[in-house]
């Protein structure tokens, strides 16, 4: 099922199933928490360059994942519009 994203461990066993929207919601929540934590750290000291780099990488990853989700959604809409609905 395309709306379910499966996380596997190294042995290939399913460890978690999530909907695409659940993953996007989690990314948005983590991004907000990351931003708040980053602001707090930078207010107290200016030495957190590694944290800033990690934050940038996280935001980049989030952007990539959201782009993939949008692409998959667009592909699914295209497939649905091109294929006739089957009667069950």
Span 28-39, pLDDT tens digits: 877 777 777 766
* Domain spans in the chain, listed from the N-terminal domain onward: 21-82
pLDDT in tens, 26-79: 778 777 777 777 666 665 555 556 667 677 777 777 777 777 777 777 777 888
Asked if 55 and 41 count as a contact pair (C-beta separation under 8 A), the reply is no
Residue with tokens 């989700």: 69
Task: Give me the residue label for tokens 């809409």.
Answer: 77
């Amino acid at each position: 099922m395309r709306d379910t994203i499966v996380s596997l461990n190294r042995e290939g066993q399913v460890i978690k199933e999530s909907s695409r929207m659940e993953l996007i919601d989690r990314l948005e929540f983590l991004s907000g928490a990351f931003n708040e934590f980053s602001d707090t750290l930078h207010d107290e000291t200016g030495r957190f360059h590694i944290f800033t780099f990690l934050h940038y990488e996280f935001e980049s990853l989030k952007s990539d994942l959201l782009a993939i989700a949008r692409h998959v959604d667009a592909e699914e809409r295209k497939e649905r519009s091109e294929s006739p609905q089957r009667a069950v």
